[in-house]
Chain A
Amino acid sequence: MRENFRQEMRDLKVSVLDIGRSIVDVTKLSVKALVEGDVDLAEQVIANDDDIDTRCLAIEEHSLEIIATQFPVARDLRLLHSLGYIAMHFERMGDLGVNISKAARRTASRRGPQTLYDLIQAQGNLVHRVLEAMLEALEKNDLELARKLQDLDEPIDHLFKQFFRELARLQDEEDIEWASSMVLASRYLERIADHAVDIGDRITYMVTGQFEAPPEEEA
């Protein structure tokens, strides 16, 4: 029985889940900073990103050490490889959160139409739901939940498109920089959810050992 090895793998997974929770916070706080025009909060999120990057790198280093010394195979190998892959996604999701906070910093000085803030808050809530589901699927190796992430992601894409249409109605030229920052923030949110869906596919592989073909793209 490789009890030390087992414990090491469990610890590694806990560390990855912890980073995932930080990503949930980053997403939530950056949306809050954007909607409330809170520059201090945005700065806080931006400053925290180095910590997430360091923790993601530590996962990669630790994975390499385990591969070099323990020769993991089968489900252990799939778990280890997947955790590294998921940590890489988290690192990028963290960067996207930072980008939303930077958008908050740029847009805070002027107040746009309330509809747009409502839309982006709604989008943020949906992304939050996808992230929570993804973390639960990862924690519990829940195949069914992992496969559901794709469905949860769909309304987020629709909201992004709606957000884009709303912005197109703005007439005032001075609004253009503000508007482009807002549309980028909405896009970043949508991308965060896409990463979560990719992680869902990875969880499916981790559990089943099979790579499932992605669904056909809509024309």
Chain B
Amino acid sequence: MNHTLAELQSGVAPAADPTVKIAVKGLDFFYGDFQALTDITCDIRDNAVTAFIGPSGCGKSTFLRCFNRMNDLIIGTKHAGLITLDGQDIYAPGVDPVDLRRRIGMIFQQPNPFPMSIYDNVAYGPRLHGMKKKADLDEVVETSLKRANVWKEVKDILGRGGLTLSGGQQQRLCIARVLAVQPDVLLMDEPCSAIDPTSVQKIEDLMAELKSSVTIIIVTHNMQQAARVSDETAFFLQEVMGEPAMLVEFGRTAEIFTSPKDKRTEDYITGRFG
């Protein structure tokens, strides 16, 4: 559901809308003195895939990392504005970033399995959260690997090191590792740019399957991928070097890729710049 800025500012709360998983209002973000994002307002819908697109350096990844407070780990960063998850301010005092990151999992461009067995990679999170019984762990490992579309390939080699797998398999193992702790939201930062086409296909398939239970946000430079996998698309742009990036257009993916409303969106997706 789209909201006008006036509606958002007047307090017609998108958080009250059950279809909204994450609501962002007037977000500014700074690296030291440099303002990277300005006045971002948008709703991320539940049970949907949202794609962030835009030229390099337009703040997509910065914005993505605000959702699980990964930017907190970088010294000198600060933000203004509000981000809510299920209506709760994620930057409120008392919110534990570690617990937040369990609810909002993240997948990176380069697969990063732990140097341990496939089984232990997936069981790592549940164990950390206190799961001890082997039968429970077995079940969560199998379910997570199945949801990550990699079970068939690894079910007979669960004791083998995660790093022995191919890049694409490693990436799906990392997805299984995130899914094992039952996140509400999955952030994917260019998850397919370093892996083989078959794995890309499998990851795109699993996104379609997962979205009924997990809200997915993907940053991608591959516009065909954004068009294929997402329900909604957000286009970010830094118009002037040194100035902060902004959210130019946010709407239904089918509409963005056939009849975008903003000329800058149109020029970018048709390859006229960027």
**Contact surface of A with B, Cβ cutoff 8 Å:** 1-2, 5, 71-78, 208-210
The residue in chain B whose Cβ has the minimal distance to the Cβ of A77 is B258
A1 touches B272 (CB 8 A): yes
From B224, B269, B273, A74 is in contact (CB under 8 Å) with: B269
What CA separation (Å) do A209 and B223 show in the bound complex? 20
- Report the nearest A residue to B268, measured CB to CB: A74
B223 surroundings in chain A (CB, below 8 A): 71, 73
Q: Is the CB of B258 within 8 A of A71?
A: no
Tell me if B130 counts as interface (CB < 8 A to partner A): no
User: Given contacts A74-B260, A75-B266, A209-B260, could you give 17 more A-B pairs where the C-beta distance is less than 8 Å?
Assistant: A1-B271, A1-B272, A1-B273, A5-B271, A71-B224, A72-B270, A73-B227, A73-B257, A73-B270, A74-B258, A74-B266, A74-B269, A74-B270, A76-B270, A77-B258, A78-B258, A210-B259
Among B227, B265, B270, B273, residue most surrounded by chain A Cβ atoms (within 10 Å): B270
Residues of B within 8 A of A5 (CB): 271
Q: Please, how many angstroms separate the alpha-carbon atoms of A77 and B258 in the complex?
A: 7
Chain A residues lying within 8 Å of B273, measured Cβ to Cβ, are: 1
Chain B 229-241 against A: per-residue CB contact (8 Å), 1 yes, 0 no? Answer: 0000000000000
Smallest CB-CB A-B distances: 4 pairs = A209-B259, A2-B271, A73-B257, A74-B266
A81, closest chain B residue (CB): B258
What is the CB-to-nearest-CB distance from B239 to chain A, in angstroms, rounded to a whole number? 18
Which DSSP category, helix, strand, loop or mixed, fits chain B's interface? helix
1/0 per residue, CB under 8 A from A, across B247-271: the answer is 0000000000111100001100111
Q: Given the interface contacts A71-B223, A73-B223, does A78 sit within 8 Å of B259 by beta carbon?
A: yes
Interface residues in B177-226 (C-beta closer than 8 Å to A) = 223-224
**Interface range on chain B (Cβ under 8 Å from partner):** 10 to 19
Q: Name 15 interchain pairs, CB-CB below 8 A, sorted by A.
A: A2-B270, A5-B271, A71-B224, A73-B223, A73-B227, A73-B257, A74-B257, A74-B260, A74-B270, A75-B266, A76-B270, A77-B257, A77-B258, A208-B259, A210-B259
Bound complex: CA A77 to CA B224 (Å): 13
Instruction: Please measure, in the bound complex, the distance between the C-alpha atom of A51 and the C-alpha atom of B243, giving whole angstroms.
Output: 57
What is the minimal beta-carbon distance from A8 to any residue of chain B, in angstroms? 13
Distance, CA A1 to CA B268, complexed state (A): 10
Residues of B within 8 A of A75 (CB): 266, 270
Q: How far is the CB of B15 from chain A (nearest CB, A)?
A: 32
Residues of A within 8 A of B269 (CB): 73-74
Give Cα A210–Cα B266 distance, bound, in whole angstroms: 15
A210 to B265, CA, bound (A): 17
C-alpha gap A135/B79 in the complex (Å): 55
User: B4-38 toward A: CB 8 Å interface, digit per residue (1/0)?
Assistant: 00000000000000000000000000000000000
Q: What CA separation (Å) do A77 and B271 show in the bound complex?
A: 12
Q: Across the two chains, which residue of chain A brings its CB closest to B224? A: A71
Give B125-137 as 1s and 0s: 1 = Cβ < 8 Å from A's Cβ atoms: 0000000000000
Chain A contacts for B270, CB-based, 8 A: 2, 72-76
| Interface bits B67-91 vs A (CB < 8 Å: 1, else 0) | 0000000000000000000000000
Chain A residues in 8 Å Cβ range of B259: 74, 78, 208-210
With both chains docked as a complex, state the minimum distance between the C-beta of B58 and any C-beta of chain A, in angstroms.
18
Least CB separation from A70: chain B residue: B271
Tell me which residues across on chain B come within 8 A of A71, comparing CB atoms. 223-224
Bound Cα distance A74, B268 (Å): 10
Q: Tell me the complex Cα distance, A2–B270, Å.
A: 9
* B-side contacts of A73, CB under 8 Å: 223, 227, 257-258, 269-270
How far does the Cβ of B272 sit from chain A's closest Cβ, in whole Å? 7
> Taking the nearest CB of chain B, how far is it from the CB of A15, in angstroms?
21
Residue numbers in A under 8 Å from B272 (CB-CB) = 1
When C-beta atoms are compared, the residue in chain B nearest to A5 turns out to be: B271
Bound-state Cα–Cα, A74 to B267, Å = 9
- Complex CA distance for A1 and B260, rounded to whole angstroms: 19
Bound complex: CA A74 to CA B269 (Å): 8
